[in-house]
Amino acid sequence: MAFHVIAVDGPAGSGKSTTARLVAERLGFLYLDTGAMYRCITLKALRLGVAPSDGNALLRLAQESRIEFRVESGVQLTTLDGIDVSSEIRSPEVTLAVSEVSAHASVRAILVERQKEYSRSASLVAEGRDTTSVVFPDAFLKVYLCADVQERAKRRVHDLERLGKRTTLQEQIVDLTRRDRYDSSRSASPLTQTDDSVLIDTTGLTIAEQVDRVVDLYRQRRGA
Ligand code: DC
């Protein structure tokens, strides 16, 4: 049977992760969080004292790291070398360094190859910055999510609160603006909206509405 890929890209805080995860649940697809993979390499680098600018050392880390996704009691966990790091990879330290780590073309090449492998054995919803442009250019459905920066910062404050991390709206606006600029202007696979992606502005939409839109788009396309 043919496996289908739904690829979802967009800037940080646009609702990609939650939307992609819930769409995957609704359709019975795998959820591929590509950002979590870059975060794992960043976490390992910070723990080992490898600088985010050291491309060669990061490439070696990426080559020797085992990153896996596992569902436990309905919750998807990210494991690094067999250990659950789902919470650690969301720490402010990792968030601060991950854009620089993910800008190395050599690191991207390794992780992109692994991301493609997932699609050979299952239908999946992949989300990140380059899933519509580089990882899955032939995806069955491509979606680009956006939202204004105030709204995205508000969501980040809530997300971090749920993880027990205190932050302010202003801090998140500064961080998101910095990451948007970095992710969109880097030379290796910058964040872009491809011509064949469907644009969904999630400002003012509920999560349920975002999920419904993507599921409806998928069903329409499949039924056509
Ligand atoms: O979606 P996120 O915040 O977990 O992503 C973390 C970082 O990883 C983000 O700053 C950009 C980078 N990233 C990337 O370059 N390519 C992807 N496919 C996913 C994430």
Q: What is the CATH number of the domain that holds 191?
A: 3.40.50.300
Indicate whether 139 pLDDT > 90: yes
Confirm whether 82 is domain-assigned.
yes
Cα of 109 to ligand 1 centre, how many Å? 14
Confirm whether 209 is domain-assigned.
no
- For residues 164 and 26, give the distance between their C-alpha atoms in angstroms, rounded to a whole number: 28
Mean pLDDT for 64-81 is 93
Q: What are phi and psi of 11, to 5 degrees?
A: -70, 165
Q: Is the CB of 14 under 6 A from ligand 1?
A: no
- For residues 137 and 9, give the distance between their C-alpha atoms in angstroms, rounded to a whole number: 12
- Residue 92 pLDDT level (bands cut at 50, 70, 90): confident
Smallest Cα–Cα separation from 19: which of 145, 197, 139, 147? 145
Mean pLDDT for 201-218 is 96
Structural domain of residue 45, as residue ranges? 5-202
Q: What pLDDT sits at residue 75?
A: 87
> Closest Cα to atom 10, ligand 1: which residue?
99
- Residue 9 pLDDT level (bands cut at 50, 70, 90): very high
Confirm whether 109 is domain-assigned.
yes
> Closest Cα to atom 15, ligand 1: which residue?
102
* Ligand 1 atom index nearest CA of 182: 10
Cα of 150 to ligand 1 centre, how many Å? 19
Structure tokens at 68: 């896996």
Q: Please state the domain count of the chain.
A: 1
Q: What pLDDT sits at residue 136?
A: 98
Confirm whether 222 is domain-assigned.
no
Instruction: Tell me which of 9-18, 38-47, 207-216 is least confident.
Output: 9-18
Q: pLDDT tens-digit profile of 154-182?
A: 999 998 898 888 899 999 999 999 989 98
Confirm whether 190 is domain-assigned.
yes
Confirm whether 189 is domain-assigned.
yes
Q: Is the CB of 12 under 6 A from ligand 1?
A: yes
- For residues 39 and 186, give the distance between their C-alpha atoms in angstroms, rounded to a whole number: 17
8 A C-beta contact, residue 112 and residue 132: no
H-only helix segments in the chain: 16-27, 34-48, 55-64, 92-102, 105-118, 149-162, 169-185, 207-223
190: left (phi over 0), alpha (psi -120 to 50) or beta: beta
Q: Would the CA dihedral through 215, 218, 221, 222 be positive or negative?
A: negative
8 A C-beta contact, residue 207 and residue 18: yes
Q: Is the CB of 13 under 6 A from ligand 1?
A: no
Q: pLDDT tens-digit profile of 26-70?
A: 999 999 999 999 999 999 999 999 999 999 999 999 999 999 998
Confirm whether 215 is domain-assigned.
no
Confirm whether 224 is domain-assigned.
no
Q: What is the mean pLDDT of the chain?
A: 94
Mean pLDDT for 112-133 is 96
- Residue 12 pLDDT level (bands cut at 50, 70, 90): confident
- For residues 175 and 24, give the distance between their C-alpha atoms in angstroms, rounded to a whole number: 28
Cα of 128 to ligand 1 centre, how many Å? 6
